[in-house]
Amino acid sequence: MSADPARSGCEQLPGRLATAAVRSIAPYVIGKPISELERELGISEVLKLASNENPLGPSPAALAAMRASLDDVWLYPDGNGHDLKTALARHHDVGMDQITLGNGSNDVLVLLAEAFLTPQTNAVISQHAFAIYALATQATGARIHVAPAHAADSPMPYGHDLDAMLALVDADTRLVFIANPNNPTGTWNSEGQLTRFLERLPDTVIVALDEAYFEYARSVDCPDGMELLRRYPNLVVLRTFSKAHALAGVRVGYAVSHPDVADVLNRVRQPFNVSMPGLAGAAASLGDARQASRAAALAAEGRVQLGEGLPALGVRCFSSAGNFVLVDVGRPAQQIHERLLRRGVIVRPVGGYGLPSCLRITFGTAEQNERLLGALAASLKDP
């Protein structure tokens, strides 16, 4: 029996009903999960250093709070996140009306794009910047202006060139995304650089200052965006509990901004976008002053260990203010990545960021870092 042409047309139609902007998006590629690699290669004891997770795990207080919250998971979570907002307001000395909660800080990045971008406007990002900025912008149909990053031989290789970004701002620009420190490069902008940029920026432009790795950047001249909020009402500072607080699996992030901006973001935010365990765990972790300091100390040790071990293997190791390092292996990095996978070590190739000879490696424990160095040494020698 021949196919019904009308029916065949309908079967092909649903995907084409999406907007052209959404259809043109290349999906975000996540790091390979441990279980997938074990299943594919039939191996065990896989080491994952690909997603900038905190190997120390969450605060004991956060784990206890999340377990306690499970008794009430048959109820909807507090849609306003009152207790977590109260804790955040106290922690940052801001008003509760300045806070927007997100299902991870990625959620808030999408909210910013939805709230401020249209097909008639544009957003400015840097080359090698976190991929979600472009994806969130593209989904709205807005244009993306990409500023060239600093050159590989500059004092801040591959870092955001704020002058180049400012040069791309025009009358239709509504958002500028700045990651400080940036993922995947680990680069950062100083307080002076950022302040000069904000002073020169038109007040018709919102600046999304992504500080997902803030807790790891206290040893360099990487400013605290919260201190700039009082001077710049068009600034939005984003933070996350996924990194130093080690709560990536429950997805909690937030933004702090002028109350007018927060009001707009909360209009488009879904009311139950943070789970009950997430709300409880984040509030408890914020109250554990040792959590972030432990994470930062471990990253500092890893920075020294890999900063010495990686160049000894003949690869270039870039400076980083995050809990990871960008490494140039001097050849197609995908090849080295695949060799490492066969040795049970997962890192992140960043060819999709325009860095085809580079890998991003998360700092682990001393033992994990040593295993990575041994696996990488062997992978570089493979014929």
Residue 20, pLDDT score = 74
The lowest-confidence range among 3-17, 43-57, 260-274 is 3-17
Q: How far apart are CA 156 and CA 221, in angstroms?
A: 13
DSSP 311-342: GGGT-EE---SSSEEEEE-SS-HHHHHHHHHH
Per-residue pLDDT reduced to its tens digit, 328-338: 999 999 999 99
Buried b (16+ CB within 10 A) or exposed e, 99-115: bbbbbbbbbbbbbbbbb
CA distances from 65 to 68, 248, 281, 327, 339 (A): 5, 16, 6, 38, 41
Per-residue pLDDT reduced to its tens digit, 214-263: 999 998 999 999 999 999 999 999 999 999 999 999 999 999 999 999 99
**Residue 215 or residue 33, greater confidence:** 215
∠ CA 100-105-110 to the nearest 5 degrees?
Answer: 80
Mapping DSSP to helix (H, G, I), strand (E, B) and coil, where does residue 136 land?
A: helix
**Domain 60-287 in this protein, CATH class:** alpha beta
Q: Could you give the count of Cα atoms lying within 13 Å of 146 in the half-sphere of its Cβ?
A: 14
Q: Are strands 173-179 and 206-210 parallel, antiparallel or unpaired?
A: parallel
Contact 359, 349 (CB under 8 A): yes
Spatial CB neighbours of 111, under 8 Å, sequence gap ≥ 6: 100, 102, 255, 265, 268, 269
Q: How far apart are CA 89 and CA 57, in angstroms?
A: 25
Residue 346, pLDDT score = 95
Residue among 91, 41, 86 nearest 237 (CA): 91
Q: Which amino acid is at 322?
A: G
Residue among 211, 220, 270, 263 nearest 238 (CA): 211
29-56+290-381 is classed CATH 3.90.1150.10? yes
Contact 55, 365 (CB under 8 A): yes
Contact 163, 194 (CB under 8 A): no
1 pLDDT band, cuts 50/70/90, is: very low
CA distances from 237 to 63, 120, 221, 297 (A): 27, 25, 17, 24
> Average pLDDT of 266-294?
96
Residue 351, pLDDT score = 95
Residue 164, pLDDT score = 98
Residue among 325, 314, 327 nearest 377 (CA): 314
Among positive and negative, which fits the CA dihedral 243, 247, 248, 250? negative
Decide if pLDDT at 365 tops 60. Answer: yes
Residue 35, pLDDT score = 81
Percent above pLDDT 70 for the chain: 93
Per-residue pLDDT reduced to its tens digit, 107-122: 999 999 999 999 999 9
Decide if pLDDT at 343 tops 90. Answer: yes
Contact 368, 378 (CB under 8 A): no
What are the residue ranges spanned by the domains of the chain?
Answer: 29-56+290-381, 60-287
Residue 29, pLDDT score = 66
Distance of CA 331 to the CA centre of its chain: 26
Decide if pLDDT at 18 tops 90. Answer: no
Residue 22, pLDDT score = 75
